[in-house]
Amino acid sequence: MGESESFLVVDDDPAIGTVLGALLRQEGFASAWADSGEAALAALGARHFDAVLTDIKMPGLDGMGLLDRLSAERPDLPVILLTAHGTVPMAVEAMKRGAADFLLKPFDSEEVLFVLRRALAASVRTVPERPPSKTLVGASSAMREVDELVRRAARGKATVLIRGESGTGKELVARAVHDASPRSQGPFVKLHCAALPEALLESELFGYEKGAFTGAATRKPGRIELAHGGTLFLDEIGDISLGVQVKLLRVIQEREFERLGGRETLRVDVRFVAASHRDLESMVGLGQFREDLFYRLNVVPFRLPPLRERSGDVEQLARYFCALHSRANRRFEMTFDTRALQILAAQPWPGNVRQLENFVERLVVLADGPLITAGDIQRELGRESSIVRDETSGINGRGTVDLSLENQRRKSERETLSAALSRSGNNRTLAARLLGISRRTLYTKLEEHGLM
């Protein structure tokens, strides 16, 4: 530990705050004391701390509640629990939920310093890419239902189908089911079906033998084979062709397949989790998706709510993404003021959680200071509206028609993509065929124009 490090002690007993504060100052470190979980959150929003030592039993927001908040919003911040002898099992449970360590009361001064050093040495100074699967971000009733369904679905091996709009977090839920299952020590393999043309998708799924086609210089295992003993996540399952659907149905039913160009039948132990933002029932009715495959996939159905149906989660998500991208962009300890969070919660977020994350990252990068204000958000919302207005109408910021070739090209391309999607009933395979481009190219263009 060094002189620059600072610690927050959280305990409703002033004597604990005094003793620990004196110990830390005696060692040359800065410290502060908060008498409740709510006071601790306020202190953390006002200044930087390198670690938190918090009692478990406190009125109001207790130590467990504070831990859950910090695990979601500040996963890089070590939290050490203080507990009496009678609550050791609770402290152990807290460690499973993200606590760095715990100390028993009455504690020894050398032990306190040792535990602090160990927690700081072990702490990762970058936050995980996503929240731990056991704690999907959000406390709304809709997300509580998702959490409960994840817990129940994880116990078995039945196929799971996750439905929801783009950007709602379908992959997160798929990984959550895997992580909470008996297969958690096995591989979690994912494949984005919409990003690959049919021939490449088939070889990625099933693998191939040497000489199976031009360029197949060696044997290559497919994603199904690689997922043996674990989970295979098939994202955008509605975009696979009828030919691939037939072969996939056999694997799901029989748990066996052959590599492309091979004669040997391989058996696998794989749990399938699929996801789609499309109306698969309508596709079945139109003959675009096999009915038997749909029922094989839809054994355990999930519906992920769009962000507009869980607006109460926006504040918690925004705080989490702020911590995530502050570290990633080396802008440490950035926070929102109250009004800023209110403005974020009032937005419609048609792109769901993905759009919110991208917007928060932009705020982190462009904000002037460590506090993201309502003014920062209004400025970026205005800039976003201006860009959309310019691209769709050809009017620039000076109120004149922008006839630049690039602007007109982008406008025409976006309109053409939208028309192809509309004409194909949002079937990307058919849309790509209408446009005369590969599905990979279509996927790239849709992402570029915000049409995913």
Q: What is the pLDDT of residues 307-348, one digit of tens each?
A: 998 878 999 999 989 988 888 777 777 889 999 999 999 998
What element of type H or E holds 242?
Answer: helix 242-254
Q: Compute the residue count for the chain.
A: 452
Residue with tokens 């390198």: 50
Q: What is the mean pLDDT of residues 215-230?
A: 80
Please check the confidence at residue 261 and state whether its pLDDT lies above 70: yes
What are the Cα distances from residue 309, in Å, to 84, 162, 227, 345, 353? Answer: 42, 17, 34, 11, 12
pLDDT in tens, 116-137: 876 766 553 333 334 434 457 7
Of 122 and 138, which is predicted with more confidence?
A: 138
Q: What is the mean pLDDT of residues 211-215?
A: 76
Residue with tokens 């109408």: 393
Contact 204, 191 (CB under 8 A): yes
Contact 406, 422 (CB under 8 A): no
Both tokens assigned to 99:
């606590």
The whole-number pLDDT of residue 144 equals: 87
The whole-number pLDDT of residue 116 equals: 80
Residues of the chain with pLDDT > 70: what percent? 82
pLDDT in tens, 374-424: 998 998 888 766 544 444 444 444 444 455 555 666 777 777 887 777 666
Please check the confidence at residue 79 and state whether its pLDDT lies above 60: yes
Residues near 88 by beta carbon (within 8 Å), at least 6 away in sequence: 104
Please check the confidence at residue 219 and state whether its pLDDT lies above 80: no
The whole-number pLDDT of residue 72 equals: 78
- Residue 6, beta-bridge partner list: 30
Structure pTM? 0.57
Of 137 and 300, which is predicted with more confidence?
A: 300
> For the chain, which domains are there?
6-122 (3.40.50.2300), 134-303 (3.40.50.300), 307-393 (1.10.8.60), 405-448 (1.10.10.60)
- Provide φ and ψ at 396, rounded to 5°: -90, 180
Residues of the chain with pLDDT > 90: what percent? 30
